Amino acid sequence: MDFKKFSSLILFEQTLFALPFAYLGVLFANGRHFSTWVLVTVAFVAARTAGMSFNRVIDAEIDSRNPRTKHRLVPSGEVKRIEVWLIGLIACLMLVGASFLLNTLCFYLSFPAIVLLFTYSYFKRFSSSSHFYLGLVEAVAPIGGYIAVTGKFSLVSILLGVAILLWIAGLDIVYAVQDLDFDRKEGLYSFPSIFGQNASLIVSEACYVLSMCAMVTAGVITGKSIPYWMALACVAFIFIYQQMVVKSGDMSLALKKFFYANLYVSPFLLIGTLIDVFLT
């Protein structure tokens, strides 16, 4: 498999987008050792690769029947399933190895993390809570980044995890709106397919509000300074904009604006926190 196919398979650009989640945990723990940053990067990229690989194979049959996803590499037959399983397995070994080199708690937690990565794809077959389960999977990143530095849990790490969990859940609920009809036809339990579009957008908005509350609380507890709060203000503006556009009428156009705006959230958070920790 060439790099182009590999990148398309695991959505490499989304890995880069989500990498700041893990870095937030490192920064809030005041992590300054270069080796820690490298190992956290390896562990996170490995985890994302494993999760995407599992998802692509497990959902291949469903994806083949969805007009939006039928051209993906696995359902289209461009990549063999055995290759994707192998990539997932290698990524899991890399995750465990990097976690072992970080500290004992990270090593122990790498195994339940793999379970989360593997089981996520099955949730939408029986529960509309799949969006929150995906949020939980992503919440492991900042919590893991914090533990990589400190070797222990803390209230701050949990708050960061909650912030990411709710943000990703709110994001994924909106994402699922575009597959509402397909999910109902296939008997899949996405939030929009069970509760409808309007209720889903209300829940997404609530998730965003609570996510922001968690980020504010984490900043207050750790005494963050102006750069962090400026970044958080930018994130709040993006959150408000996103929720406004998905209620503006044309959902197809609104979703494009929604996801484009979302690309700026994690960079703002990372840059603001980075400046706060290292330059103030």
- pLDDT category at 3 given cuts 50, 70, 90 is low
Query: The tokens of 211 are what?
Result: 């996510």
Whether the predicted pLDDT of 125 surpasses 90: no
d(CA 150, CA 29): 7
Q: Is there a contact between 112 and 179 (Cβ–Cβ < 8 Å)? A: no
Domain count, the chain: 1
- pLDDT category at 279 given cuts 50, 70, 90 is confident
d(CA 122, CA 184): 16
Q: What is the overall mean pLDDT for the chain? A: 91
Query: The tokens of 3 are what?
Result: 């790099």
What integer is the mean pLDDT of 267-273?
A: 94
Per-residue confidence (pLDDT) for residue 65, from 0 to 100: 87
CATH assignment of the domain containing 33: 1.10.357.140
Per-residue confidence (pLDDT) for residue 40, from 0 to 100: 97
**pTM score of the predicted model:** 0.91
Per-residue pLDDT tens over the stretch 199-232: 999 999 999 999 999 999 999 999 999 999 999 9
- pLDDT category at 181 given cuts 50, 70, 90 is confident
- pLDDT category at 126 given cuts 50, 70, 90 is confident
**Terminal CA-CA length for the chain:** 46
- pLDDT category at 17 given cuts 50, 70, 90 is confident
d(CA 125, CA 128): 8
Q: Residue 202: count other Cβ atoms within 10 Å of its Cβ.
A: 14
Q: Residue 263: count other Cβ atoms within 10 Å of its Cβ.
A: 12
Structural domain boundaries enclosing 55: 3-279
Per-residue pLDDT tens over the stretch 42-101: 999 999 999 999 989 998 888 888 888 788 878 887 888 899 999 999 999 999 999 999
d(CA 40, CA 46): 10
Per-residue pLDDT tens over the stretch 135-176: 999 999 999 999 999 999 999 999 999 999 999 999 999 989
27 or 10, which is more confident: 27
- pLDDT category at 252 given cuts 50, 70, 90 is confident
d(CA 65, CA 221): 48
